[in-house]
Amino acid sequence: MVRAAGILMPITSLPSPYGIGTLGQTARDFIQFLEKSGQTYWQILPICPTGYGDSPYQSSSTFAGNPYMIDLNDLVLEGLLQRADFENFSWGDEPEKIDYKLQYEQRFAVLKKSVGNVSTNMADSLAAFLQTEAYWLDDYALYMAVKNHFGGTAWSQWPEPVRLRDTNKLEELKTTLAEDILFWKTIQFLFFHQWNKLKAYASQHHIQIIGDLPIYVSEDSADVWAHPEQFQLNEELRPTEISGCPPDGFSEDGQLWGNPLFNWDYMKENEFSWWITRIAHQMKIYDVLRIDHFRGFDSYFAIPYGDKTAKNGVWRKGPGIDFFQTVKEKLGDLPIIAEDLGFLTDSVHQLLKETGFPGMKVLEFAFDTRDTGYGYLPHCYTRNCIVYTGTHDNETINGWFETAPEEDTANAIRYLRLTKEEGYHWGMMRSAWASVSDTAIMQMQDLLGLGHEARINTPSTLSDNWTWRCKPEDISDELAKQLYEEMKIYERLPQI
């Protein structure tokens, strides 16, 4: 394995004139920045539609792309929109924050103007997409059309024949809502048309994209509505237990994620076919796949449905190595990163070892007095791991030094020999690059030396998450040159 490096940067956090990062020119500019910086990887967050709390981990579909990421300028260049269709819209007063309410209220009205032009100008490509992606697209588009038909309510609140997917009622709705169904299919065509072009551009510039697959899906999603047998639901299709994690030093009540849990017994009987389809879809999109909450495949935390905290949850057995052996049999050896963070047991460590996947090491965890920090200090690393200073669920480095207990930060300063002259954030990143880990991934906010204000997400909270955006001048040649020299020193330049 060759030593390599990358940057964690959500697509939505890129600069653009339209309130949110997109798949257009600024994404291509960022790929050029990565190449000039001597990086190998661009790690992103899930690209599926955002859901409850604007979270990409609570999506209406595990297969669909986020319509907000469709670049309007590129639609103009392809003759699918006119600039007058959107140039007078306001996309928010704070260019460094995403206003999801404005995106929801305005983006679809603009995109609707391009749909008819797609049918005219790109009819053959659209028809091929509708056929190739029908295995998920038909259910998703019907779900979105029906959801709009019922005023945006969750599918669990729909009339019983629709909620329980009565065949005659669904056929009736497919006829009644045919125009809206085609709209949602065409939106997905536009997304993946632009995504595939961006992915090809990244490959041309020798940048590999690391995607992110949430382990769970949202209850209010096309996935659960269309495939209720895959989940732990009762006769009324309500969850019996939901996902989360137990109380710990970070959260007194634990975390209540709220996703329905998988019916692993049913899935195993069917050779995990739903999961095989899901992972195969992801591997069409990305070069490398990070699987979120890896420990949930060993054992998962189950909380009674309706509880307000995670205190009454219990651990239940997951599918274990049988799952990953089946994935390998069906799909071959895949480039997967295991997000093995959280409460880990010997059996989780054993499962990681049996899969051979690289796990994750987070430097901020190494100095946390609420935990032992075991395994997160650089002298404990092995080559087969990915080192981060922090992830999207953690503080930025400077934010961590602002908010962590003084004992923790003092330990970090002492162990890593950090100095204010160099900058604590730079010294911490340098220590990660210098480590034995084959791969080191840094957050863009840390490269920019930003503080708490640039944190992406604070788990178990709903306010002001997923909104941070960088400024155009942040993606600079000066920073690229500085990074390139660090990659050269620590032998992490790409081997092209």
| 367, 408 Cβ separation under 8 angstroms | yes
Distance CA 479, CA 426 (A): 12
Asked if 473 is an active-site residue, the reply is: no
Whether residue 393 lies in the annotated active site: yes
Please tell me which residue in 78, 393, 453, 474 is annotated as part of the active site.
Answer: 393
339 is catalytic: yes
Tokens of 427: 């010294």
Is 337 in contact with 360 (CB distance < 8 Å)? yes
Q: What is the DSSP string of 386-423?
A: EEES--TTS--HHHHHHHS-HHHHHHHHHHHT--TTT-
* Spacing of C-alpha 38 from chain mean position: 24
- Count CB-CB contacts under 10 A for residue 123: 10
Q: Whole-angstrom Cα distance, residue 99 to residue 228?
A: 33
The type of residue at 120 is T
Cα 46 to Cα 207: distance, rounded to the nearest angstrom:
18
Residue listed under structure tokens 């928010």? 92
Q: In terms of DSSP bridges, do strands 255-260 and 241-245 run parallel, antiparallel, or are they unpaired? A: antiparallel
Q: If 0-12 CB within 10 Å is exposed, 13-18 middle and 19+ buried, where does residue 224 land?
A: buried
> Cα–Cα distances in Å, from 471 out to 177, 316, 384, 445, 448?
41, 45, 34, 11, 10
Given 96, 292, 307, 322, the catalytic residue? 292
Residue type, 286: Y
DSSP 3-state percent helix, strand, coil across the chain (nearest 5):
45, 15, 40
Q: Read off the tokens for 85.
A: 């269709």
Q: Which of 223, 339, 340, 446 is catalytic?
A: 339
Active site residues: 292, 339, 393
